[in-house]
Structure 1
Amino acid sequence: MPEDESWEYSLYIPNDPRAVTVSRRTLRLILTMHGLIRLVDVAELLAAELIGNAVLHTKGPAALRVRWSPPETLRIGAWDADPEPPDAPARLADVTGDESGRGLALVKACSDLWGWQPLSRFGNRGKYVWCEVGAGQPGVTRRAS
């Protein structure tokens, strides 16, 4: 499928720590098959942080959504069953050795845009946390944070 066509994939996952690895490998395959190998490294990092947060901080199922919108936007998002908003990320430079706070700070630092919205799926309330990266040539383009 050419890069100038839109597409979207969703991967529904249980609340299981292995979901992060499954999500990363699935995302790698999707991007490779669509000729977007240049986005794999940053996309895997972003998906791992979003799905990791969903699995770590909620008790229910989750979902990974990946959407390509021409000409150059890849949106990666994670739905989880917790309707509470994510903690606002600190700047990556401000995050200390604490285990919490680094995930969304990495998402903020490595993406062009990020956000969240309340969402319902199958009658369950939850939220959708997403980020976008550009796919400019020859590498990934990023706006200053």
Structure 2
Amino acid sequence: MPEAWEYTLTIPNDLRAVTVSRRTLRLILTAHGLIGLVDVAELLATELVSNAVRHTKGPAALRVRWAPPGTLRLGAWDADPEPPEPPRPWDRFAEREEGRGLALVQACSDLWGWQPLSRFGNRGKYVWCELAAA
């Protein structure tokens, strides 16, 4: 049975960080033999990191954690302590491209949530989601 592990990638407030995070996540999951989770995990991490970078002004971080027997938790920390806007129903997205992030996270993950968090003396929040390995 694989042991627990965790990675944290600190990222600047730069839209290029979304691509760096996605590619780093793919490398981590592939190295740990979790290739079956890569596509959905990349989508989820893209949304979480994108929200952290687009809607805040400070630094952010992507956290990737594996917990036996088979739960992958992805999370994004950002420096804004305000809670994320709740996901909207899908029928409200007919004409808009923006605002789908947390609705995708809710639809594609097994569980998601957020919590206030302090990191290195900065207040902020941590938005996370979980995937169960099949």
- TM-score (ref. length: structure 1): 0.89
Aligned to 1:143: none
Aligned to 1:46: 44
SS in structure 2 opposite 1:43?
A: helix
Aligned to 1:125: 123
**Identity across aligned pairs (percent)?**
77
Aligned length: 134
For residue 79 of structure 2, the aligned residue among 78, 81, 84 is 81
For residue 27 of structure 1, the aligned residue among 25, 28, 31 is 25
Query: How far off is 1:101 after superposition?
Result: 2.1
**Is the contact made by 1:92 and 1:106 (CA closer than 8 Å) also made in structure 2?**
no
| AA partner of residue 120 (structure 2) | F
Query: How far off is 1:72 after superposition?
Result: 1.2
Gap runs ≥5 in structure 2: none
**Is the contact made by 1:15 and 1:55 (CA closer than 8 Å) also made in structure 2?**
yes
Query: How far off is 1:120 after superposition?
Result: 0.5
| AA partner of residue 55 (structure 2) | H
CA offsets, 1:103-130, max 9 Å, x none? 0000000000000000001111000000
Superposition pairs of residues 49-60 of structure 1, within 5 angstroms = 49-60=47-58
For residue 61 of structure 2, the aligned residue among 28, 39, 63 is 63
**Is the contact made by 1:73 and 1:132 (CA closer than 8 Å) also made in structure 2?**
yes
Gap runs ≥5 in structure 1: 137-145
Aligned to 1:12: 10
CA gap 1:113/1:43 in 2 versus in 1, 3 angstroms: same
Distance, in Å, in 2 between the alignment partners of 1:66 and 1:85 is: 21
Superposition pairs of residues 86-125 of structure 1, within 5 angstroms = 86-125=84-123
Stretch of structure 1 that moved more, 50-59 or 90-99 = 90-99
| AA partner of residue 25 (structure 1) | R
Aligned to 2:35: 37
| AA partner of residue 30 (structure 2) | T
CA offsets, 1:10-45, max 9 Å, x none? 000000000000000000000000000000000000
